Structure 1
Amino acid sequence: MAEKPGHSIISIQKNKRSFEYIRKNFILYLFLAPAVMLVFIFNYIPMYGVTIAFKDFSPIKGILNSEWVGFEHFTSFLQSPNFQQIFMNTLKLSTFGLLLGFPVPVILALMLNQVRRAGIKKHIQLIIYAPHFISVVVIVGMLFIFLSPAGPLNNILSVFTDKPISFMSDPNYFRTIFIVSGIWQGAGFASIIYLAALSNTDPQLHDAATLDGASLLQRIWHIDIQVLKPTMTVLFILAVGGIMSVGFEKAYLLQTDMNLPTSEIIDTYVYKRGLQAGDWSFGAAVGLFNSVISLALLVIVNYVVKKLNGETLY
């Protein structure tokens, strides 16, 4: 089908305007160039290494000369006896962490927004932001100390129980420890973005609602929550997109021989098979499988949210 003359003229005019805009703002694009180059070099070029997931990779032969095996490693992982357990452990840990942890920063931001005295507000923010800057290794060390059979928590519980509870070795407590410690460490710092969004709220809205007799909770629900809604939507979509990326470091450090039935997740499994056992191709295949699942979830949730309320990530 031939292009209409009017459309071609409009297209040429748009191209001229774009070229003119780039020419006038050449210096700004020049400042952007290093960032684009860094992303290209460290994020896009390494994607070539994903091809080892479809090969029987040998460091001696290299990626190009290694034998092509197709989906053999993916099939091996999907048919392995512990696939269902590892996959469900990852899914449960991330899903529960998202459902329980996502509302906490929002609630913290709403509470902090009601503190009117700047001095008190700064001290509270300092206290709740501090855990974010503690190393994961230190956090895990603290957990082992506080939750050990001779630790402070068991000393308190000894009033009600006859024997100490082995929190760190009992599989039933692993998810609770992982999720609660993660919320404690990250919720305060995550509330910053919500506080920034709330700072743009027009004070006249609250004044008008107060004059109309609206209570504090009503003003929070009908004004503050509505202001936070676009930010919450975008962050929720991003959180769902990373739902399969639980976090290798803390999960691996919290693992013991006794809690493996619930603590073995995809990230730790990839580390053990891919790096410790030297099965590079199998580890890459499992990691790629994890990434594909995350991408699919991101696209699906973004589509569903867009249909429900019009807010979208892209």
Structure 2
Amino acid sequence: MKAVLDESRANGSPGDASPGNPSIAKKNRFLHNVKRDAWLYLLLLLPFAYILIFKYAPIYGVIMAFQDYNIFAGISGSEWVGLDVFRFIFGQDSFYRALKNTLALNVYDLIAGFPAPIILAILLNEVRMAKFKKITQTVLYLPHFLSWVIIGGMVYLMFSNGGMVNAFLASLGAGKIEFLSQKIPWLVTYISVGVWQHIGWGTIIYLAAMTGINKELYEASDIDGCTRLRKIWHITLPGIKSTINILLILQIGRMVSIGFDRPFVMGNSLVSDYSDVISTFVYRVGISSGDFSQATAVGLFQSVVGLILLLAANYIAKKLGEDGIW
């Protein structure tokens, strides 16, 4: 009997906390790792709390899209109206104008703004002067930190009727260009300023992707006598193709969403027919008019359509044999 007990202690019973029990040993390892990395887990609490409070908690407010929301009655006391809010929104010409403008501006941004950082990153990757490369990256990245209020002031000083650009044109004897009050000049200014602000951020992403390309491929191409263009086409671009695919899919998913700052700051009553977008529409009906049900319904519409576009773009990429986001 004693021999059996000794053998049982040596092997460890299911409820025993001895090292012989795999589940207990795994639990002890987990507790040891938590204790060892306690400060790292504490650092994770802040971003986790941010996501929980500002991303997940507001989802409860989606209920307002199906209510005749009353700010005094609150969500629990407001009357349920089903899909009446959506029917009202889809019956407004101003909503379709905002949706059309949002899609148009996002398409223009995609055409002009998506390839620009790729081209710039390739050009910088070919530069061999490290100091010049770093200075250029810094200068290009600085606009990313400027708020649209500051950028809007800069745009007005440069492109208004009495701005620096028109003053320069007048000194040359040329006529003034109404950059901020006519459709085509305004669109060109709007898209160009957006590309200028975001090109540095995109360039850094693609340059980071290029660092993962095997340098031996370039060395082998030098031995074979490949030109720079052939190396870019056959080595650099295939090396960053997965990054291009992922960023393209994500941008397609945002086709019905647009930031509030740029259209609001650069828009005015003279160009409202093509500067009024969904975000300014939500601001007008939600904040200015106090119709929170409409604003919530439009936001829900954007989220659903954006998710559908994202899934569709990812599905098409997978079908074509390219990398997706999952």
TM (norm. structure 2) is 0.85
Verify the 8 A CA contact 2:62 2:300 in the aligned structure 1: yes
From 276, 291, 297, the equivalent of 1:279 is: 291
Residues 51 and 22 of structure 1: is their aligned pair in 2 closer, same or farther, counting only changes over 3 Å? farther
Verify the 8 A CA contact 1:174 1:263 in the aligned structure 2: no
From 165, 179, 188, the equivalent of 1:167 is: 179
Question: Helix, strand or coil: the match of 2:240?
Answer: helix
Residue 137 of structure 1 is matched in structure 2 by: 149
Residue 259 of structure 1 is matched in structure 2 by: 271
Q: CA deviation at 1:115?
A: 1.3
Residue 310 of structure 2 is matched in structure 1 by: 298
Question: Helix, strand or coil: the match of 2:93?
Answer: coil
After superposing the two structures, state which structure 1 stretch, 28-37 or 280-289, moved more. 28-37
Residue 313 of structure 1 is matched in structure 2 by: 325
* Percent identical: 37
Question: What amino acid does structure 1 have at the position aligned with 2:183?
Answer: P
Instruction: State yes or no: 1:270 paired with 2:282.
Output: yes
Residue 92 of structure 2 is matched in structure 1 by: 80
Q: CA deviation at 1:23?
A: 5.5
Q: CA deviation at 1:38?
A: 3.2
CA distance in 1, matches of 2:41, 2:144: 35
Verify the 8 A CA contact 1:54 1:69 in the aligned structure 2: yes
Aligned residues: 298
Residues 281 and 206 of structure 1: is their aligned pair in 2 closer, same or farther, counting only changes over 3 Å? same
Q: CA deviation at 1:124?
A: 1.3
CA distance in 2, matches of 1:160, 1:305: 52
Residue 234 of structure 1 is matched in structure 2 by: 246
What's the C-alpha RMSD, in Å, of the aligned pairs? 2.1
CA distance in 2, matches of 1:134, 1:144: 15
1:150-190 Cα distance to aligned partner (Å, 9 max, x none): 222223434464x4222112233332221110101110122
CA distance in 2, matches of 1:212, 1:160: 55
Instruction: Output aligned runs, 1:41-190, within 5 Å.
Output: 41-158=53-170, 159=172, 161=174, 163-190=175-202
Residues 34 and 119 of structure 1: is their aligned pair in 2 closer, same or farther, counting only changes over 3 Å? closer
Unaligned ranges ≥5, structure 2: 1-22
Question: What amino acid does structure 1 have at the position aligned with 2:66?
Answer: F
Residue 7 of structure 1 is matched in structure 2 by: none
Residues 305 and 157 of structure 1: is their aligned pair in 2 closer, same or farther, counting only changes over 3 Å? same
CA distance in 2, matches of 1:40, 1:276: 28
CA distance in 2, matches of 1:262, 1:40: 36
**Could you say which structure has the larger radius of gyration?**
2
Q: CA deviation at 1:22?
A: 5.2
Residue 38 of structure 1 is matched in structure 2 by: 50
From 288, 292, 296, the equivalent of 2:300 is: 288
